[in-house]
Amino acid sequence: MASRKGKLLIVDDNAGIRQALKILLPLHFAEVEALPSPVTLVSTLERFRPDVVLLDMNFNTSINTGNEGLYWAGEIKKMVPEVEVVLFTAYADIALAVEGMKRGAFDFIVKPWDNEKLIEVLTAARDKARKAMGRDSSGSTLRMTGAGGDCHSERSEESMFWGSSKPMLTIRRTLDKIAPTDATVLITGENGTGKDVLAREIHAHSLRSGKPIVAVDAGAIPETLFESELFGHIKGAFTDAHADHAGKFEQADGGTLFLDEIGNIPLHLQAKLLRAIQSRSIVRVGGSAPIPVNIRLICATNMDLEALVREGRFREDLYYRINTVHIALPPLRERKEDIVPLSQLFLERFAGKYHRPLTGLDDSAKAVLESGRWSGNIRELQNCIEKAVILSEAENLTARDIDARSGSGMTAGEPGMTSDVIPGSTGNLLRNTQEEERLVRDALERSNGNISAAAKMLGVSRPTLYAKLKKYGL
- Each residue's pLDDT tens digit, 184-234: 999 999 999 999 999 999 999 999 999 999 999 887 788 888 888 899 999
Q: Which helix (H) or strand (E) holds 110?
A: strand 107-110
At 338, the amino acid letter reads D
At 233, the amino acid letter reads H
Compute the distance between CA of residue 13 and CA of residue 41 in angstroms, rounded to an integer: 13
Q: What angle do CA 349, 355, 356 make, to 5 degrees?
A: 85
pLDDT of residue 123: 93
Please, which residues bridge with residue 260 across strands? Answer: 217
List the chain residues with pLDDT less than 50: 1, 61-64, 136-157, 404-431
- Each residue's pLDDT tens digit, 424-441: 444 444 445 566 777 888
- Helices H, strands E: what count in the chain? 20, 16
Compute the distance between CA of residue 142 and CA of residue 17 in angstroms, rounded to an integer: 35
Compute the distance between CA of residue 427 and CA of residue 157 in angstroms, rounded to an integer: 21
Task: Specify the pairing of strand 7-11 against strand 31-35.
Answer: parallel
Tell me the angle at which helices 115-133 and 15-24 cross, rounded to the nearest 10 degrees: 70
Provide the 10 A C-beta neighbour count for residue 79: 15
Write phi, then psi, for 360 (nearest 5 degrees): -170, -170
Task: Specify the pairing of strand 84-89 against strand 145-146.
Answer: unpaired
All domains of the chain in start order, with CATH: 7-133 (3.40.50.2300), 164-328 (3.40.50.300), 332-405 (1.10.8.60), 433-471 (1.10.10)
- The helix, strand and coil proportions of the chain, stated in percent and rounded to the nearest 5, come to 45, 15, 40
Rg (CA), the chain: 25
Provide the 10 A C-beta neighbour count for residue 383: 19
Provide the 10 A C-beta neighbour count for residue 108: 22
Q: Write the CA distances from 407 to 362, 429, 445, integer angstroms.
A: 20, 20, 18
HSE at residue 11, side-chain half, CA atoms within 13 A, is: 26
pLDDT of residue 431: 42
> Do 426 and 301 touch, CB atoms closer than 8 A?
no
